Amino acid sequence: MKAVVTGGCGFIGSHLVEALVARGDEVTIFDGAPPPHWQQTARRHARYVPGDVLDREALATAITAEADVVYHLAAVVGVDNYLARPLDVIDVNFTGTRNVLDLAADAGAKVVVASTSEVFGKNPAVPWREDDDRVLGATSADRWTYSSSKALTEHLTFAFVRQRGLDATIVRYFNAYGPRQRPGFVVSRSVHRALNGKPVVVYDDGLQTRCFTFIDDAIAGTLLAADSPAAVGQAFNIGSMIETTIGDAAELVVKLAGPETELHHVDTGVRLGQSYEDLSRRVPDNTKARTVLGWTCETSLENGLARTIEWARNSQWWLDLDDSGAE
């Protein structure tokens, strides 16, 4: 297969590129920056095309008539970006996706669009099935720009399937974590701070729950969605159904990475302002992915954390990254 990965130098994208190369696919990476030094598989075995998904002409040099499948992962993500760069979040996630879908439709390529658990907003009725309602806060709260922009990309994708006959599938990731994730997310931030001898940050009382999904499981679900004819025109929750509190996850990181590390509780209202609204629970129903794709989430949180921490201990470049936004 000839595959194009937008955002192929990012966290999920880089792992996907490695999996595609390992199975023998010809891979083209489309990203704003070239594969970094640690992405040796991509540097040696993948074609790199520089560009921004907002630049249709540049994107067209990657998504050509030769492409069999396009994995669209390029996006602006992270709570820090939702609050600081809401316009970029909307532009890149919506307009960039429109460009990808247009070019893929012209090329006759299949598309797998990466979406997020955030599309469900704060719907209290968990676990969430793929077709459950979205419940969001006020449009004046920048917190919801990512959720709304990703929901619009899903609408775009379904519209292309129905009106243009595009062969497309949506995968919604639930709290993916693992090696190479920048230290701006729950697990990566906690591991980064613990290994650097800093207190591990827990927002509010730490009783919020998440379902953490190790990167290898997320990639396995993505590949199954791309390969399954039954996945066309469908969305799939790719996430563990095991609920863990943020506080318990932080304590497990401390246990595995540095028992002497302290926990530091932060008030989100003070730290992030009133534009941010936290979610008390985020739980997928992954029945559809299991029955249609044959996907299972195989990695326990403890095992995934242990693997992530082992990698991090041996990756000084990652430990040297700035995490000042986590204070």
What six digits make up the tokens of 264?
């530091």
Using only the alpha carbons of the chain, give its radius of gyration: 19
- Cβ atoms within 10 Å of 111's Cβ, excluding its own: 28
Q: Which amino acid is at 93?
A: N
pLDDT the model gives residue 311: 98
Q: Tell me, yes or no, if 48 is annotated catalytic.
A: no
**190-199 pLDDT, tens per residue?**
999 999 999 9
Query: By C-alpha distance, which of 268, 276, 271, 267 is closest to 86?
Result: 276
At 246 the three-state DSSP class reads: helix
Cα separation of 5 and 325, whole Å? 29
What six digits make up the tokens of 229?
């004819």
- H or E segment and range at residue 221: helix 215-227
pLDDT the model gives residue 27: 98
pLDDT the model gives residue 67: 98
Helices (H), 228-315: 246-257, 268-271, 287-288, 301-313
pLDDT the model gives residue 326: 46
Residues 253-256: contacts with CB under 8 Å, at least 24 apart: 253/187, 253/190, 253/191, 253/194, 253/200, 253/305, 253/309, 254/190, 254/194, 254/200, 256/302, 256/305, 256/306, 256/309
DSSP per residue, 34-89: ---TT-HHHHHHSEEEE--TT-HHHHHTTS-TT-SEEEE-----SHHHHHH-HHHH
- The phi-psi region of residue 175 (left if phi > 0; otherwise alpha if psi is between -120 and 50; otherwise beta) is left
The residues pairing with 139 across neighbouring beta strands, listed in sequence order, are none
pLDDT the model gives residue 327: 43
pLDDT < 50 stretches in the chain: 326-327
Alpha-carbon distances of 47 from 2, 17, 30, 41, 57, rounded to whole Å: 11, 11, 9, 11, 17
Q: Do 289 and 295 meet the contact criterion of CB atoms below 8 Å apart?
A: yes
Cα separation of 120 and 135, whole Å? 6
pLDDT the model gives residue 6: 98
**72-95 pLDDT, tens per residue?**
999 998 878 888 899 999 999 999
Domain boundaries, the chain: 2-245+253-326
Q: Prior bond to 259 cis, omega within 30? A: no
- Cβ atoms within 10 Å of 131's Cβ, excluding its own: 7
Instruction: Read off the pTM.
Output: 0.95
Active-site residue, from 146, 177, 203, 276: 146
Tell me which of 3.90.400.10, 3.40.50.720, 3.40.50.2300, 3.40.50.300 is the CATH number of domain 2-245+253-326.
3.40.50.720
How many residues are given for the chain? 327
What six digits make up the tokens of 317?
């470049």
Cα separation of 250 and 186, whole Å? 8
Q: Do 98 and 156 meet the contact criterion of CB atoms below 8 Å apart?
A: yes
pLDDT the model gives residue 81: 83
